[in-house]
Amino acid sequence: LPFIVSVPSGNFGNLTAGLIAQAMGLPVHKFIAAVNTNDVFLNYLQSGKFEPKASVATLSNAMDVGNPSNFARIISFFGNDVDLVREKIISSSFNDEQTLSAIKEVKENYHYTIDPHGAVGYLALKKYFQDTIQESVNGVIFETAHPAKFSEIVEKVLAEKTSIPERLSVCFGKQKVSVKTNKDFVSFKEALVQTIS
């Protein structure tokens, strides 16, 4: 069966990759760009005009993007035709209060701990199925981060400790290492080659 894919979206990289996979044959009926209050893409679909704005801080902070860099790729993919974009992508926006409620709802109804970004994706898919009659379509939600990364938020809502997988807890104990480079490609390439060799 074809499926609906709800993608928590900020910079729209995952959604862009999904569109490419769809063009290569992945049987996706439609994508949902699930956004928080940084809703420039939803506004674009509604008005046909892209109007970037300053980002607003939310609990789903990886989606706090007021001018998504992948927007140009998406509209180029559709030949700058907003009607073609609308055929393949819909969008819904949710605030922090709704996000917190969704974290609790998913835990109570499905016994799954979801992070704030996934909660926005869940809400968008839920809204789609409430607003649309689709008998032969499956729904998929991208869970783009582990809830342990947002344990302060998740634990407050659920009043329980978030379990951290061993492979993730090992990462928390490691020292952060970064390499500074100049902004030009040659410097970046040299730093990359030195780091991995």
Q: What is the pLDDT of residue 111?
A: 96
Q: Say if 10 falls within a structural domain.
A: yes
Give the span between the Cα atoms of 72 and 50, in whole angstroms. 10
Q: Say if 195 falls within a structural domain.
A: no
**DSSP-derived pairing of the beta strands 89-93 and 138-141:** unpaired
Dmax over Cα atoms in the chain, in whole Å?
55
Q: What is the pLDDT of residue 197?
A: 76
Q: What is the pLDDT of residue 7?
A: 98
Give the span between the Cα atoms of 163 and 113, in whole angstroms. 10
Q: Say if 67 falls within a structural domain.
A: yes
Q: What is the pLDDT of residue 103?
A: 98
Q: What is the pLDDT of residue 134?
A: 67
Q: What is the pLDDT of residue 172?
A: 77
Indicate which CATH number applies to the domain containing 8.
3.40.50.1100
Q: How many domains does the chain have?
A: 1
Q: What is the pLDDT of residue 137?
A: 84
Q: Say if 192 falls within a structural domain.
A: no
Burial group, residue 102, by CB count within 10 angstroms (0-12, 13-18, 19+): buried
Token duo for residue 23: 């063009």
Q: How far is CA 152 from CA 53, 113, 142, 156, 180, in A?
A: 28, 13, 21, 6, 31
Mean pLDDT in consecutive groups of 10 residues from the start of the chain, 197 residues:
93 97 94 98 97 97 97 96 97 98 98 97 96 83 91 93 85 83 90 85
Q: Say if 173 falls within a structural domain.
A: no
Give the span between the Cα atoms of 72 and 68, in whole angstroms. 8
Evaluate if pTM is beyond 0.95: no
Q: Say if 139 falls within a structural domain.
A: yes
Q: Say if 137 falls within a structural domain.
A: yes
> What is the span of the domain harbouring residue 76?
3-162
Give the span between the Cα atoms of 10 and 174, in whole angstroms. 28
Instruction: Check if the beta carbon of residue 60 is closer than 8 Å to that of residue 8.
Output: yes
Q: Say if 189 falls within a structural domain.
A: no
Beta strands in the chain (DSSP E): 3-8, 28-35, 89-93, 138-141
